[in-house]
Structure 1
Amino acid sequence: MTARIAYADVEVGTELPGAVFPVDRATLVRYAGASGDFNPIHWNERFARDVGLPDVIAHGMFTMAEAGRIITDWAGDPGAVLEYGVRFTKPVVVPDDDKGAEIEVTAKVAALLDEEARTVRVDITARSAGQKVLGMARAVVRLA
């Protein structure tokens, strides 16, 4: 665990360290096993295309979790995240090749909510293949 960020050390516009998360088909299989979500759109290319998708796609909750990692890493404590929500805007398409896909995540402090409670709102941007994959991605975080 990293050191906790102090409320006094942030201001609106403070950028969190960004991250790039690789995702390949093997990752999707492992996530399916852990989550119990074996929907074939996440592993069967033919099925995914038959239902109108361009290819196999990552689980939405997997994408959300990867994006949330930069918040918990920055805050230094997963328990500091009081609220977290997103809207799924585009799927993360995961081709069956040596590269797979990447989820690129950035975030910044968008509001100082409550000085006494030391809470801030962090807005998150997640992209894959140049497209925004999460909308309205926000977290409320209690800082040290």
Structure 2
Amino acid sequence: MTVQLSEVAEGDRLPELSIPVTRADLVRYAGASGDFNPLHWNERFAVDVGLPDVIAHGMLTMALAGRLVTEWTGDPGAILHYGARFTRPVVVPDDGAGARVEVSGKVAAKNADGTVKVSITARSGGQGVLGGASATVRLPG
């Protein structure tokens, strides 16, 4: 799907995503990123430090939310800037189903320089997990 700048208006909603996150995903991400913090794989450790269970890596959560924009644009290279604050962890139970990250977004602005600002909302377990998430993208024509 390639979105054209001329087809986009402020307030347009991006197609929503519902992305599963399992313990196996956390293991794969740990291997790829080199982040083997026990918060992401050891339930006993996570509970001992005050968490309800193992949590997803923050950067994994941010990447999943970013997928909303890359799937919408059809071009990961269209993203000029992407930022977010981590507001709540994604808790990933060891129950076979794991967690889900629900991601939505809308066009917040069409800028004079031909870029588009997209506001992103990411939720898991009915609660927001990222704050102030947005991306600036350059769309063709």
TM-score of Structure 1 vs Structure 2, range by shorter chain: over 0.9
In structure 2, which of residues 100, 119, 127 is the aligned counterpart of residue 123 of structure 1? 119
In structure 2, which of residues 110, 113, 125 is the aligned counterpart of residue 112 of structure 1? 110
Q: Distance in 1 between matches of 2:80 and 2:67?
A: 14
Runs of 4+ in 1 over 2 A off after TM superposition: none
| Percent of matched pairs sharing the same residue | 66
How much does 1:55 deviate? 0.5
**Structure 2 gap segments, 5+ residues each:** none
Q: Distance in 2 between matches of 1:56 and 1:47?
A: 8
Q: Which structure 2 residues correspond to residues 1-40 of structure 1 after superposition, within 5 A?
A: 2=1, 4-40=2-38
What code does the residue aligned with 1:104 have?
E
Q: Distance in 2 between matches of 1:75 and 1:138?
A: 14
Q: Distance in 1 between matches of 2:40 and 2:96?
A: 17
Secondary structure of 2:55's counterpart equals coil
How much does 1:72 deviate? 0.6
**Counterpart for residue 139 of structure 1:** 135
Question: TM-score normalized by structure 2?
Answer: 0.97
Write the deviation string for residues 34-70 of structure 1: whole angstroms up to 9, x where unpaired: 0000000000000001111110000000000000001
What code does the residue aligned with 2:50 have?
G
What code does the residue aligned with 2:42 have?
N
Give aligned pairs, total: 140
Q: Distance in 1 between matches of 2:120 and 2:110?
A: 15
RMSD, matched Cα = 0.7
**Counterpart for residue 98 of structure 2:** 100
Q: Distance in 2 between matches of 1:113 and 1:60?
A: 29
